[in-house]
């Protein structure tokens, strides 16, 4: 029996265990390697605990397009703003999206100007709001990777079961494997191995990653979010790279299985289908998104409010696209910490709780001592 005061997470931050894994990495590595974590939560953990500082210099960590807020394209954000300003609309979103800048404004400013913008913690909350406000059109901003798609699908199925005619979702959902293909297939690619996101794989499994590892000759290791999780994942990738192996390994087996959550996958496939999707700062990645199937077209806010024509140019000074592809680090942006701050962001990576720029601004790699640098 586990004692009721036992803090399970602290065992994954144990300084002695951390130092042991770091020592093993130092003993194993013989040349420089570039690894990409493809999850914003992992990026924040790396910066929060100063993992990049306690690793040997031969390990370079670059930060991929793993922040759902960050990869939501600017034109989709402008479409959200156009819908939110309509007089009969209640626009529902996760809190992270309120400060993400569009071309001229953000949802926070629109709410201050009188728009009915509400923060919710689940799309099912938005369905409830639609029930309670039958005279209003309620729209939920459905962003995110595979992790959030099942509950978005559940909201559509629940709205249909309730016979709601006033609920819809503005879809900006993306999937990880096509982004990995795009990064590895780029002539500018520097990534030699991936740390895959444990929570995405908990839903989708990791069977899709075997083809990627084989095709591009890159190790892929599924990891969690605690320091020891990440360091063990890094150790496994280094062991593969040094040994000339290129396979998928599961270093997060307490949560992730090969096949993932079959029930969640079935719900996703019932409501959504693959589609092309633009990624902010990156551009179009074929078949990287999930869109509503034709039988659920009435819940498609983009069509309902006829905002699909809105197209927007990214600001040239923001290098979010380079950062999301692992080509640059946040501090290499000329606007970082001056023209672009969390209070006045130029791009989503500075304002999102999972954004790489926000992690660099907030932590600056100052916490390595906690884990025994």
Each residue of 151-201: pLDDT tens digit? 999 999 999 999 999 999 999 999 999 999 999 999 999 999 999 999 999
Cβ count near 53 (within 10 Å): 15
pTM across the whole model: 0.88
**Which of 290, 69, 320 lies closest to 178, judged by CA?**
290
Higher pLDDT, 8 or 222: 222
**Rounded to the nearest 5 degrees, what angle is found at the Cα of 277, between the Cα atoms of 324 and 96?**
55
Determine contact, residues 132/160, Cβ cutoff 8 Å: no
Q: Would you say residue 314 has pLDDT above 90?
A: no
Q: Which two tokens stand for residue 292?
A: 């509503």
Tokens for 4? 């009721």
- Backbone φ, ψ for residue 200 (5° rounding): -65, -45
Q: How far apart are CA 35 and CA 57, in angstroms?
A: 13
Distances, alpha carbon 197 to alpha carbons 38, 89, 176, 250, in Å: 6, 35, 9, 11
Q: pLDDT for 109-167, tens place per residue?
A: 999 999 999 999 999 999 999 999 999 999 999 999 999 999 999 999 999 999 999 99
Distance CA 69, CA 359 (A): 14
Query: Whole-angstrom Cα distance, residue 303 to residue 291?
Result: 12
Query: Has residue 1 got a pLDDT over 50?
Result: no
* Res 364: pLDDT: 73
Q: Tell me: pLDDT of 365 over 50.
A: no
DSSP symbol at 313: P
* Per-residue pLDDT at 368 exceeds 80: no
Torsion of CA 102, 104, 110, 115, to 10 degrees: -90
Note the pLDDT of residue 15: 78
Give the other-Cβ count within 10 Å of 231's Cβ: 27
Task: Give the model's pLDDT for residue 9.
Answer: 59
The residue among 369 and 62 whose pLDDT is bigger is: 62
d(CA 43, CA 354): 7
Q: Which of 183-192, 221-230, 232-241, 314-323 has the lowest mean pLDDT?
A: 314-323
DSSP 261-310: -HHHHHHHHHHEEEEEEEETTTEEEEEEEEEE-GGGGGGBHHHHTT-TT-
In angstroms, the CA 159 to CA 126 distance is 10
What is the C-alpha to C-alpha distance for residues 68 and 72, in angstroms, rounded to an integer?
6
**Pick from 84, 294, 309, 277: nearest CA to 172:** 277
**33 contacts 193 by C-beta, under 8 angstroms:** yes
Among the ranges 4-8, 70-74, 137-141, 368-372, which has the highest mean pLDDT value?
Answer: 137-141
Distance CA 215, CA 238 (A): 19
**Class of domain 69-176+260-304 (CATH, top level):** alpha beta
Report percent pLDDT > 90 for the chain: 67
Both tokens of 116, joined, read 């009915």
User: What is the C-alpha separation between 299 and 303, in angstroms, rounded?
Assistant: 9
In angstroms, the first-to-last Cα distance of the chain is 34
CA-to-CA distance for 191 and 35, rounded, in angstroms?
6
The whole-angstrom separation of Cα 29 and Cα 242 is: 7
- H/E element, 144: strand 137-144
The C-alpha atoms of residue 266 and residue 251 are separated, in whole angstroms, by 25
**Residue ranges per structural domain of the chain:** 69-176+260-304
Average predicted confidence (pLDDT) for the chain:
90
Q: What is the C-alpha to C-alpha distance for residues 151 and 129, in angstroms, rounded to an integer?
A: 16
Q: 168-177: per-residue pLDDT in tens?
A: 999 999 999 9
């Amino acid at each position: 029996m586990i004692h009721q005061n036992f803090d399970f997470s602290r065992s994954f931050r144990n300084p002695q265990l951390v130092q042991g894994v770091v020592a093993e990495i130092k003993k194993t590595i013989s040349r420089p390697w570039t690894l990409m974590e493809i999850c914003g939560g992992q990026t924040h953990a790396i910066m929060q605990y100063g993992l990049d500082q306690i690793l040997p210099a031969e390990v370079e960590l670059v930060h991929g397009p793993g922040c759902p807020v960050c990869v939501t394209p600017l034109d989709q954000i402008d479409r959200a703003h156009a819908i939110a300003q309509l007089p009969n609309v209640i626009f529902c979103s996760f809190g992270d999206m309120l400060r993400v800048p569009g071309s001229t404004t953000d949802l926070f400013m629109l709410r201050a100007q009188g728009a009915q913008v509400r923060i919710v913690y689940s799309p099912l909350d938005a369905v409830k709001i639609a029930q309670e406000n039958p005279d209003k059109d309620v729209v939920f901003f459905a962003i995110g990777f595979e992790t959030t798609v099942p509950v978005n699908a559940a909201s559509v199925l629940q709205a249909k079961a309730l016979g709601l005619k006033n609920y819809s979702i503005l879809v900006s959902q993306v999937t990880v494997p096509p982004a990995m293909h795009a990064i590895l297939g780029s002539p500018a690619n520097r990534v030699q191995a991936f740390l895959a996101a444990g929570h995405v794989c908990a839903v989708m499994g990791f069977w899709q990653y075997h083809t990627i590892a084989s095709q591009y000759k890159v190790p892929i290791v599924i990891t969690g979010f605690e320091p020891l999780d990440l360091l063990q994942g890094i150790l496994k990738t280094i062991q593969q790279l040094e040994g000339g192996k290129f396979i998928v390994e599961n270093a997060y087996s307490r949560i992730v299985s090969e096949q993932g959550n079959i029930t969640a996958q079935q719900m996703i496939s019932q409501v959504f289908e693959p589609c092309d999707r633009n990624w902010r700062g990156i551009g179009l990645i074929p078949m990287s998104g999930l869109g509503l199937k034709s039988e659920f077209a009435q819940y498609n806010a983009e069509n309902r409010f006829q905002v699909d024509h809105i197209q927007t140019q990214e600001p040239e000074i923001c290098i979010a696209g380079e950062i999301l592809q692992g080509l640059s680090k946040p501090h290499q942006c000329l606007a970082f910490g001056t023209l672009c701050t969390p209070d006045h962001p130029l791009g989503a990576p500075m304002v999102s709780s999972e954004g790489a720029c926000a992690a660099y601004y907030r932590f600056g790699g100052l916490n390595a001592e906690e884990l025994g640098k």
